[in-house]
Chains A and B, each alone.
Chain A
């Protein structure tokens, strides 16, 4: 199997630390007038997106370009995929054009893992179904570490539709490797009990107040209506019981930060006031996305 990056679960702590440290090196470049390096000059990266995405695709594209690589983005609609070509055939076609890496977003869990067994090209997982979203967890860790000396022992509450969240899974794997205390919270239909076995240090609760108590980090998840194949929870009362509101923040540590992988739904998983709250770091996450993805591309291709 070629070396790509399929998930956080397979990475060890040292690899994660190396990526996060390298991402820190790349942070200042984002505010320079000339933002371009030539680390990956002459390299070609294909972004293959089977699912709509604005921030992740753009972020990978910018990261590639800032490293001097060429990047081509392909979306499923408007390509041969919409003409019924199979996943394997599409990827074989792309691989024949000899890119140095394929960044892939897919609606099916495991699609990049399946392809990695059959393709010579390294694959970077940009989110697969409800499985993993490794670069999101890395940029979340980078964002936390910009404000805390260590992830070790932090209390992190992840709240929302955990069952359908690849962001939650990747974050659980990452935070657990650093022995953080992780509390997953949501309505029982979106919080399968087996999540406790995902990694050491995970606890579950259906009570948002319990989840927030003494939290250092609050990660809110988008309610993924498009991934719910049935009514797992009455949408009308979601916000009332699981939406983050300003008064909730008193339960957390006084310097707790609020995170969200975006796109946010104001009034559904968090109130508008919380989104604009001074300790909300949602836009810092977006900014760190580029530095982290530069570090990942460099690790995989460089």
Chain B
């Protein structure tokens, strides 16, 4: 059935649109953006007073399937994505087995089609088993549907392997995404190395462990000409170095997570593993640099790094708990509260960070309301008051530091390929 979204403020940075209009979606595709659109038999959604934007893309999630279905599945993760305003997600390869072969890639693509309520795009591993040694079947994974390669939580430590990976990726025109962390410098660390880690007697993850890896990889990107993307950038130096390289013509980009622009290590509840992730929540000056990067354009995308873990694993001694928090359902609200409402970011720029920004890296042909584009639409409100109850989350996991927080603004409805994937109840 066609859908017409009426009277919303349509913000589509791809076509430089910002005006009150209707959006018509027919046969799974955008059929038009104009005032007073209608279609016989169309389902009408009244978006008066709301923002209507191209469907949001989260280029960094962990869906845990195959292998860790007790934490999340493609189906449950996709529902959390839809409830967060996302119409497309890219899932990292650290599943069991690791997505390092076209077989696993195809499995995820197939499960995405049959189970998910949003578009699921797999990211293939850089190396076999993400062990950092032997390159995975990069070209074959791309043919099976992989949109990028990354060893995410297990960064490629060997510079020569990384060089070869970049060269191969360039031949297949795939971006290489790196979780930047020198594992020798960060070994054993549980939180950002600084006054707070010293106070709490927890081992630190120095900012330099991220900076060192970013610096190395930017030099390799220059050497190889590869498209290179830094995942969840969290330090002042890393933002500055990526920006510098970008301004000098390298095809390099980076993303930031909501928790890194919203929180610092001083916001952590003592020894509460819902604040434990990699990179860790850093100090106020690093957080400020991330916010500045989002404003200036140094950082091109917001991505959640949605990382579900079951309660039993997060209810342990802090140093035993795994890294990561869920984030799909709170990302947009955090961006509105932390970036737009204080006047740091325009709504147009916010929508860019969730749409054209990630699409420029991944080239999905989404993130736009141009006629004929896939019918992915995100409807959100800038003044809706709502409280996040993690126990009502669509995710199978509950590891969020934002439980109980009342937000102003958030997602209202999500249309994926011309069908409602979620509406606020």
Contacts and interface: CB of A to CB of B under 8 A. Distances in A.
A180 to B, nearest CB: 19
A293 B318 CA distance: 27
B271 A194 contact: no
A282 interface: no
What are the nearest 3 A-B pairs in CB distance?
A110-B271, A131-B201, A108-B317
B198 interface: yes
26 contacts: A86-B312, A87-B317, A88-B315, A88-B316, A108-B317, A109-B201, A109-B202, A110-B202, A110-B270, A110-B271, A110-B317, A111-B271, A113-B270, A114-B271, A114-B318, A117-B272, A129-B202, A129-B319, A130-B201, A131-B201, A131-B202, A194-B194, A194-B195, A194-B198, A198-B199, A229-B203
Contact of A87 (B199, B272, B316): B316
| Interface residues on chain A, size class | 20 to 34
A197 B195 contact: yes
Nearest to A168: B201
Contact of A110 (B187, B200, B204, B315): B200
Interface of B: 187-188, 193-195, 197-204, 270-272, 312, 315-320
Interface of B, secondary structure class, is loop
A288 B199 CA distance: 27
Contacts of A108: 317-320
A128 interface: yes
A108 B315 CA distance: 13
A194 B200 CA distance: 12
A262 interface: no
Contacts of A87: 316-317
Interface of A: 9, 86-88, 106, 108-111, 113-114, 117-118, 128-132, 163, 166, 169, 192, 194-195, 197-198, 229-230
A114 B195 CA distance: 20
A129 B187 contact: no
A114 B203 CA distance: 17
B280 to A, nearest CB: 15
A109 B200 contact: yes
A187 to B, nearest CB: 16
A110 B200 CA distance: 7
A86 B316 CA distance: 7
B318 A229 contact: no
A108 B276 CA distance: 15
